[in-house]
Amino acid sequence: MSAPASALPRLQTAAGATLVRGGLAREWRLASRTVRASAVCLALFYLFAALSPVFAPYDPTFQNREMPDCPPMRPHLSAPSQWNQGLLWAYPMRMVDAEERTYAPDRTRRIYIHLLSGGHLFTTDSPTQPFYLMGSDGLGRDLFSRIVYGARVSMCVGLIGVLITFSLGLIVGALSGYVGGMTDNLIMRWSEIEMSLPSFYFLLALAAVIPPGISAAQRFFLIVAIMSFIGWAGLARVIRGMAASVRSLPYVEAARALGGSRWRIITRHVIPSVIGYAVVAATLSIPGFILGESALSLLGLGIQEPTPSWGNLLSQAEDPQNLARYPWILIPGIFIFLAVMSFNFLGDHLRDRLDPGNASR
């Protein structure tokens, strides 16, 4: 007996969801351990960005002036009889030399760490008696909390920037390659002009003219727009070549002979034929946005204090003396390295999977 007509959309949706889950499970099985680790790493970073108040134990702007440049604290497991106070504990740190900012653990007291308490993954009774998992910065702010909140900027700048670059490069490149003629010449000459500019120095020049009094959100979107404006030309040029080769294929000519409009042919036939390469190129270009934002913020032209980003968290590491005394201030750089390498490994995997020569695997 056939299903009622009203049930068909639900059945189709359920079947589509099953196919998607099956496809993702198959890709997970085929992926190498490096790709799986990269996917888990990126998922964790985006969870940081989406659920920052949960993962961060403290307000990222709270300054504990009594504990600047405090080293990371070592957690200890509590005895079962003390689990009502906290599953973990750490010795509080006390400053023994204010000039050198050196610390020693106070072994006469304990700070108990509460898990899943007060809407946080872990926290302590008071931010004035903190547990610094990754140490503190020069103003006594919890470095781990600032790294978690900094993921909002550093991880989202890549996605939003690539979305703009991907859309511009794909549409402009497909239009240029399919239409040809004067339109193609004008678009390609303009893209060549942009590609000939020294990207980083041009980015510095544009970022330097951003008004100083704007909000952090406005500055963020301006930086993304500037980096996207610089980056779309290379993708458009490659897509243009691919679209020009697709233009003379039989199914495109058949669509043209049947009276299909130019826009319909571009969106239904030309763009789908180049979308695989565009997805891979977009994935591989995300690290460039992350590094660009980090470089600008490190130089003081990107996201400004007190809003954290992984780039401006490294500003204290510019001083070699600070780096020698407080090596934990380089931890944000480890997060940048992991994010960039994870996107590169994931992009390489997508390139291999979307390669027509590997389609039978």
pLDDT averaged over every residue in the chain: 83
Q: State how far the alpha carbon of 69 is from the alpha carbons of 73, 238, 270, 305, in Å.
A: 12, 48, 56, 17
Domains of the chain, by residue range, sit at: 76-131, 144-358
Give residue 359's pLDDT.
46
Residue 170: the pLDDT is: 86
Lowest mean pLDDT, pick from 54-58, 103-107, 210-214, 283-287: 210-214
pLDDT in tens, 107-153: 999 999 999 888 899 999 888 889 999 999 989 999 999 999 999 98
At CB < 8 A and 24+ separation, what contacts does 330-335 make? Answer: 331/134, 331/135, 331/143, 331/147, 332/143, 332/147, 332/150, 335/45, 335/147, 335/151, 335/154, 335/310
Superfamily of domain 144-358: MetI-like (1.10.3720.10)
* Residue 361 confidence class, pLDDT cut points 50, 70, 90: very low
Residue 47 has pLDDT above 90, yes or no: yes
Torsion of the alpha carbons at 232, 280, 348 and 244, rounded to the nearest 10:
-90
Say if residues 173 and 355 touch (Cβ distance below 8 Å): no
Amino acid at 228: S
The pLDDT assigned to 358 comes to: 52
Q: What is the pLDDT of residue 13?
A: 56
pTM (2 d.p.): 0.82
The answer, yes or no, to whether residue 185 has pLDDT greater than 90, is no
